[in-house]
Amino acid sequence: MQQTLKKWDRQPYMTVGLVIINFLVFGLMTINGGSENTQTLLQYGAVFKPLVVQNGEWWRLITGMFIHIGLTHIVMNMVTLYFVGIQIENLFGHFKFLVIYFIAGIFGNVVSLVLGNPLALSAGASGAIFGLFGVWLMLGESFHDNPYIKAYARQLGLFVVLALASSLMESGIDIYAHIGGILAGFLAGYLVGVPKIGKVEIPKRIVATVVLIVLFAVTFGTLITK
């Protein structure tokens, strides 16, 4: 029984669960108006600034992370989430992985609302996924003596730069959510720590936590008063 529990604990069930939930929501949207239909997107919780700020529908900052616009959107995001997510979940553990994922996703949505088009409708797990990229950058900074982490962090760093550059050249991509997600994921990695790899210096964890709290306070404050 104990061996079975240990084997189950090593499985990336949080990542798999997130992927399944996203596809289930996509399926429901597809049969109830279509995932590219504006009314359906709003009905299922897409992020729309007037509804979030003026109507107080703050829950959309979370539900928007589980909604995708079109088949290509969800397939690309879920493939990325699976392969990057299982690595982060394995290194940080199930609960910490989930904490990082939601912090990055929510902050990405808030940054998008503050800096993006106020009348644009946004949806997708991209902010949270870019947060996982941010975690790898944090690992590369904290554990640069580990050759595997250093090499992988460099590769993902290059990918992030190319992805952000591509976002600038393509319409319909929420670059603000991506930037917010990366930043929040980077800081959240310090916040939760990763004992499986090694200790993160206490001053770094304190600074990262304070900066993350300040960023949330400033962006939420700006969103409410803007």
Residues annotated as catalytic are 126, 178
The most distant pair of C-alpha atoms in the chain lies apart, rounded to whole Å, by 56
| Beta strands in 29-166, from DSSP E residues, in sequence order | 47-48, 121-122
User: 213 with 185: CB under 8 angstroms?
Assistant: no
Closest listed residue to residue 65, CA positions, set 95, 82, 45: 45
User: 152 with 159: CB under 8 angstroms?
Assistant: no
Closest listed residue to residue 15, CA positions, set 74, 73, 101, 107: 101
Three-state SS at 121: strand
